[in-house]
Structures are given as structure tokens and as C-alpha cells.
Amino acid sequence: MNTPKTQYLDREDGRLSYDDTGGDGPLVVAAPGMGDLREVYRFMRDDLVEAGMRFVTMDLRGMGETSTGWEHLDDAAVASDYLALVDHLGGGPAVLIGNSLSCAASVLAATDAPEKVSGIVLLGPFVREVPMAWWMKAAFSTMLLPPWGRHVWVSYYGSKLYPGTPPPDLDAYLDRLRANLSEPGRFASFRSISTASHAESGRRLADVTQPVVIVMGTADPDFPDPTAEANGIAEILGASVVLAEGAGHYPQAETPAIVVGAITELVGSLA
């Protein structure tokens, strides 16, 4: 498993970290979900490169190797990072991959600058407001309060979000995630990101003109009915749906072959 060297892109109020496999193949840019690292795509990189793609992964603001102290941490800010990175890498157009809340940012990017986005892959997507009981919202907010929030999040991430076949290096990955969230400013950034509204993305779903594929784990605990959510979004987007049977919120790490197949098929259709 080859890991490219970290590179950086300066933005107006911070520094974005990313890695780039290089090459002249179709550009594919991926971002992780909240409270996660770009290494969540570690099991897909070699296969996508072998399939001829230029695969780039970026960290979310405040996480991984990005700077902290960003003024904006909402979906629109992450969408602007997607597009700035595409410009920096040659202007695309690029296939954008989102996971969890970064899916909403990919929808905004695709509608803000459709000429720069050739397609979208949505993994366990939060792209609209999902109804949640008040007590669940309160419990989630309480879960993320300091000083226990970092430990609770890492424990929840490892014990609940990979219900099928967890990756073999999950314990080591959790250690890296815990260490990253312990760095000054990172957990505060994560908490701010976790409160982002996806209402604007939900309003724009019908405006997406690019081809879209949704990959949803059928056991994703973040949705009351993961299959129904995937199919409901797909109906609006005119998207295709790939179900990862028994997988949770991170199919790219739990069932990477399924995700690689979905990306390869989408990129092939664009060619």
C-alpha cells in the first residue's frame, strides 16, 4: 500500500492538506467524513491507481494535517476546498467523492461550478437534513462535550460504525485518530463541523446535472433505514445505488472493493 507524501494548499484563512498519486489519468478527489482522516481511503488508493486514475485525498478543515483556526467550517467552506484543490491540480473536471457530511459539500461544489465536476460518488451520504428526535440531538451534543467527547467519539467510531467486517488495522487507525484529535484546536474544529446544516445541499439535489453513484452500507447505524435513504436521494438525483451488504458508515474502509468498483464504473462511463 503506497502512501503519497503530504502536500499543502494555502487558502484564505488556513492551509489545506492533501495527497496526490499523480499521473495523467482522470482526476478523482476524495474527502472524509466528520471527525475522520483522509487515510480512511487507504484501502482504495492502489486499486484506483492501477485502474488508471489520479487519486487525491484531502483532509477536512481542522483535521488531519490541515491548519486549525479556520473561520468557516460549514458545507460551503468544504465545497470551496474541493474546487480550490481541483483548480490547483489543473482545473479538472474531477470526480468528487464524499463520505458522510462531505457528501453535502460535494453536492454544493457540483452545483457551484458544474464545469469543474464530472461526477459524484456519495458514500453513506448526509446530503439533506435527516429528521432526528430532540433527545437524540441532545444526546449527541452531550456526547461531544469536553473533556470526555474525544474519547467517546473514538470509541463510538470504532465500536459502532463498522458493524460488518472492520478493517484489519482498525485499532492502529483509532490510535492515529485519537492522537490527531488530541492536537490543539482539532477537537474544537470537529465539534464545529458536527453542527453543520445540510439544508442547502438538500435544496440543491435536484439541480445536480452530473452522474452520481451512491454507495450505502445496509447496516449503517447513522440512518434509521439506510437503504430507504439511499433510494430516496437517488430518486431526486437520478443516481445509481450500490448497496454494501452488512457494511456501516465507512464502506471505503469496510468493503473497499465494492466502492472501487462503483468509482471505476462511473469514471469509465464518463470516458
d(CA 201, CA 226): 19
Average pLDDT over residues 20-42: 97
Give the pLDDT confidence score for residue 106 in this predicted structure: 98
Nearest residue to 204 via CA among 85, 77, 112: 112
Say if residue 136's pLDDT is above 80.
no
Domain residue extents for the chain: 7-270
Average pLDDT over residues 50-59: 98
Superfamily the domain 7-270 falls into: Alpha/Beta hydrolase fold, catalytic domain (3.40.50.1820)
Give the pLDDT confidence score for residue 219 in this predicted structure: 97
pTM (2 decimals)? 0.95
**How large is the greatest C-alpha to C-alpha distance in the chain, in angstroms?**
50
Sequential DSSP letters for 186-251: HHHHHHHHHT---HHHHHHGGG--S-EEEEEETT-TTSSSHHHHHHHHHHHHT-EEEEETT--S-H
Tens digits of residue pLDDT in 182-194:
999 999 999 988 8
Give the pLDDT confidence score for residue 4 in this predicted structure: 87
pLDDT averaged over the chain? 94
Given a contact cutoff of 8 angstroms between Cβ atoms, the answer to whether 243 and 227 are in contact is yes
Nearest residue to 136 via CA among 200, 197, 224: 224
C-alpha dihedral sign at 207, 211, 215, 216: positive
Q: HSE of 179 in the Cβ direction (CA atoms, 13 Å)?
A: 7
Cell of 206: 435536484
Tens digits of residue pLDDT in 202-257:
999 999 999 999 999 999 999 999 999 999 999 999 999 999 999 999 999 999 99
Tens digits of residue pLDDT in 88-135:
999 889 999 999 999 999 999 999 999 999 999 999 999 998 765 555
Cell of 197: 446544516
To the nearest whole percent, how much of the chain has pLDDT over 70?
A: 95
Residue 144 — very low, low, confident or very high, per pLDDT cuts 50/70/90?
A: confident
Given a contact cutoff of 8 angstroms between Cβ atoms, the answer to whether 54 and 21 are in contact is yes
Say if residue 70's pLDDT is above 60.
yes
